[in-house]
Amino acid sequence: MQKSPLQIARQSYQPKMPIALQGNVKLVEGAKTESVADQADIKDLFPNTYGLPVITMEPTAGVPSCSEPFNVGVILSGGQAPGGHNVICGLYDGLKQLNPDNKLYGFLGGPSGLVEHQYSLLTGDIIDEYRNTGGFDIIGSGRTKLEETWQFDKGIEICEELGIKAIVIIGGDDSNTNACVLAEYYLQKGCGIQVIGCPKTIDGDLKNEMIETSFGFDTACKVYSELIGNIQRDANSAKKYWHFIRLMGRSASHIALECALQSQPNICLISEEVESKNMTLNDIVEQIVEVIVNRANENLNFGTILIPEGLIEFIPAMRILIQELNDMLAHNEEFSSLEGDDAKREYVKSMLSPASCDLYRSLPKGIARQLTLDRDPHGNVMVSQIETEKLLIEMVSKRLAQLKATGSYKGKFSALNHFFGYEGRCAIPSNFDADYCYSIGITATHLIAAGKTGYMSLVRNLTKPAAEWIAGGVPITMMMNMEKRHGKMKPVIQKALVDLNGAPFLYLKSHREEWADANTSYIYPGPIQYYGPTEVCDQPTHTLRLEQQSK
């Protein structure tokens, strides 16, 4: 395979690690834990993995060794995130350090590989090709959920066939919830298969008091911030476009917030704030229009606006409208039989509540069509595909035209829309993510060697140099609560939303007026740097630094 000079150079990069992982390791157990909420329910569902202690790893004398060889299986689950390959490389190296006869099997195509017995033996030659690279293509990923006992039993079959002692699941909150369910089931069955999770998601919503950040968030935000900075440099040069930029992050606004801290746009919307203030779509439009008008008064008819992907679902009135549409149209044969968009639009308006009907009428026809015609297999609105940036451009343009007619606005409004998502998911990982992920993989091997199950591999103290990072394990049940999913209460890892009292958001809030005014304060982050001064190449996100400084 042909490689770029950067790929060749990165292949030889040796990730930095905590001192505790650089030799022989001992595990120190802390106090017993409880779930973040619904303790009685979670304990009842996970009697064998509930209440386990947090584990910290410390260096000890001697050479890492494990007398009996053992095999491990690894699964990449869910969307891609930079650094996944390094978790697998760390896992492989950790296993070989314990015993050269240990083997690592990769289940192909995500969790379905475990169920369908699709796998590959990962050798040193394969691993070396993927060191410090982006993507999940070493074994592929998938979104199959491990929830049914027949799936668990198929996993037992292949693990027994290959002599696999433990399964490592690299994924987000849902994938790690499934890992805990799997660990509990295997303990109940007494089959001797351990399960360890690793915290992955570029969205940044898998974090808590123990998990400081999920891997991939750092790299993805740096990629997006470079693009935003490039656009801002262009806007400040051409001086004629407003750029509406939608960023990944349906369930939380961490990416939008971090990119704002890195690039200082004129406006950054935060979904959680919109929800807390009970803002309407018109409120958001007026907020944007105010900044545009003020800048136009200074002859600045350009700027940047960051929009979280999930904004629509956080607007209370929009959420009610979407729920009404879901209830009304899911498997509705009468609606499906109607001919033409206009007939379907009139049918919808006749069935909605008065408030939702008024909101539906106010939406541009293209967005209204998406809400009613583009639906998933369950009949629900495909919210992630709604082009919120285009919706806002159309509504802002309409409002500015009204103001221009009254003489309240004399500027020129030209807008361009962007969506940054897939550009960041498979980028070559930053030094931070390369180091962090490799350490996560090494840590997982020590948890397995010690016989642990139902744990998530943990590396924290991440704003310090890598040598001072703290490795260990956190019980997955500690992060769980009960939530309604598809009409049933289920145990899930609690998602971390943007904390409106947290230091990162408060920093944004305190600088909003400054970033919006005529004294342009854009930052141009530039591309990720892999070689050079530590303060340029190895720094974690602004979010992480602000959060740790406030503690």
Q: Would you list the domain boundaries of the chain?
A: 16-60+69-216+429-493, 218-424+501-549
117-131 pLDDT tens trace? 999 999 999 999 999
- Evaluate if residue 92 carries a pLDDT over 80: yes
Alpha carbon 24 to chain centroid distance? 33
Q: What band does 372 get if pLDDT is binned at 50, 70 and 90?
A: confident
pLDDT for the residue 121? 98
218-424+501-549 matches 16-60+69-216+429-493 in CATH topology: yes
Q: Give which of 492, 442, 444 is closest to 168, Cα–Cα.
A: 444
d(Cα 188, Cα 527) in Å, to the nearest integer?
A: 49
264-311 pLDDT tens trace? 999 999 999 999 999 999 999 999 999 999 999 999 999 999 999 999
CATH class of 16-60+69-216+429-493: alpha beta
- What CATH number should be reported for the domain whose range is 218-424+501-549? 3.40.50.460
Per cent of the chain over pLDDT 70 is 97
Q: For 58-85, what is the mean pLDDT?
A: 90
| 8 Å CB contact between 372 and 366 | no
pLDDT for the residue 415? 98
d(Cα 229, Cα 234) in Å, to the nearest integer?
A: 9
Q: For 457-485, what is the mean pLDDT?
A: 96
Q: Give which of 143, 145, 133 is closest to 84, Cα–Cα.
A: 133
182-219 pLDDT tens trace? 999 999 999 999 999 999 999 999 999 999 999 999 99
pLDDT for the residue 412? 96
| 8 Å CB contact between 423 and 4 | no
Residue 524: count of CB within 10 angstroms of its CB = 16
Residues serving a catalytic function are 203
429-462 pLDDT tens trace? 999 999 999 999 999 999 999 999 999 999 999 9
Q: What band does 417 get if pLDDT is binned at 50, 70 and 90?
A: very high
pLDDT for the residue 45? 97
Cα–Cα–Cα angle for 147, 151, 156, rounded to 5 degrees: 125
- Taking phi over 0 as left and psi of -120 to 50 as alpha, with beta for the rest, 535 belongs to alpha
d(Cα 135, Cα 85) in Å, to the nearest integer?
A: 7
- Evaluate if residue 382 carries a pLDDT over 80: no
d(Cα 171, Cα 523) in Å, to the nearest integer?
A: 32
493-529 pLDDT tens trace? 999 999 999 999 999 999 999 999 888 789 999 999 9
d(Cα 146, Cα 36) in Å, to the nearest integer?
A: 23
d(Cα 8, Cα 257) in Å, to the nearest integer?
A: 33
Q: What band does 374 get if pLDDT is binned at 50, 70 and 90?
A: low
Q: What's the whole-number average pLDDT of the chain? A: 94
